[in-house]
A and B are shown apart, each in its own frame.
Chain A
Amino acid sequence: SYELTQPPSVSVSPGQTARITCSGDALPKKYAYWYQQKSGQAPVLVIYEDSKRPSGIPERFSGSSSGTMATLTISGAQVEDEADYYCYSTDSSGNQVFGGGTKLTVL
């Protein structure tokens, strides 16, 4: 079955740039989406279609995709950005899949 691979954890100091990667064989042809999930809450969309930012999401959140890897970048990470981040995409058959999640620590 199709898999999206993320690092389990990323740690940065406040004000630094955090980069979270997501690798998958179908990413050259399929969009990546990114969700932020804080403890005890439902996920929130932060990036859609590789690099678009929904209204209300701070400009420090950006996304990119090249080849088989998509990247979520948080420029000038803040303490309130500490959360689990999940990438999401589809395979060639239309089945949807989430990455395993990355725990971002900002301290």
Chain B
Amino acid sequence: QVQLVQSGAEVKKPGASVKVSCKASGYTFTSYGISWVRQAPGQGLEWMGWISAYNGNTNYAQKLQGRVTMTTDTSTSTAYMELRSLRSDDTAVYYCARDAPPSGGSIDYWGQGTLVTVSS
């Protein structure tokens, strides 16, 4: 069965960076992409970007361009999302989700979520 297991909760200070991991199993990792989605407390879902696990192509949400980097490690079937220059409004649960090639747009399975808290 498809599983996406994310790293644990993080507490960061404003201006710092955070890197969240997402280990995939139960399917051929390089046949799909990974989208990252976040949800601020009490708010809706916000798409952050997509990465192809096949060739590393990325598509980031415009509002996060320059602050976010998504990567994959095919040897361990793990995806990573790094967010820099953290602000208090980056406090959210961050989800990875399996998404289809060639450019995403069809999320099916989700990770359990990683809470990132940004606080001084």
Contacts and interface: CB of A to CB of B under 8 A. Distances in A.
30 contacts: A30-B105, A33-B106, A35-B45, A35-B107, A42-B110, A42-B113, A43-B45, A43-B110, A45-B108, A48-B106, A48-B108, A54-B108, A84-B44, A86-B44, A86-B45, A88-B45, A94-B59, A94-B104, A95-B47, A95-B61, A96-B35, A96-B47, A96-B107, A97-B47, A98-B37, A98-B44, A98-B46, A98-B47, A101-B44, A101-B45
Contacts of A101: 44-45
Interface of B: 35, 37, 44-47, 50, 59, 61-62, 95, 103-113
Interface of A: 1, 30-31, 33, 35, 37, 42-45, 48-49, 54, 84, 86, 88-90, 94-101
Given A54-B108, A98-B46, A98-B47, 4 more contacts: A43-B45, A45-B107, A86-B44, A90-B105
A82 B46 CA distance: 21
B105 A94 contact: yes
B105 A89 contact: yes
B103 A94 contact: yes
Of the listed residues B50, B105, B112, the one surrounded by the most CB atoms of chain A closer than 10 A to its CB is: B105
A6 to B, nearest CB: 9
A61 to B, nearest CB: 15
Nearest 9 CB-CB pairs, A to B? A90-B105, A98-B45, A101-B44, A96-B47, A42-B110, A94-B103, A100-B44, A45-B108, A86-B45
A42 B111 contact: yes
A100 B62 CA distance: 18
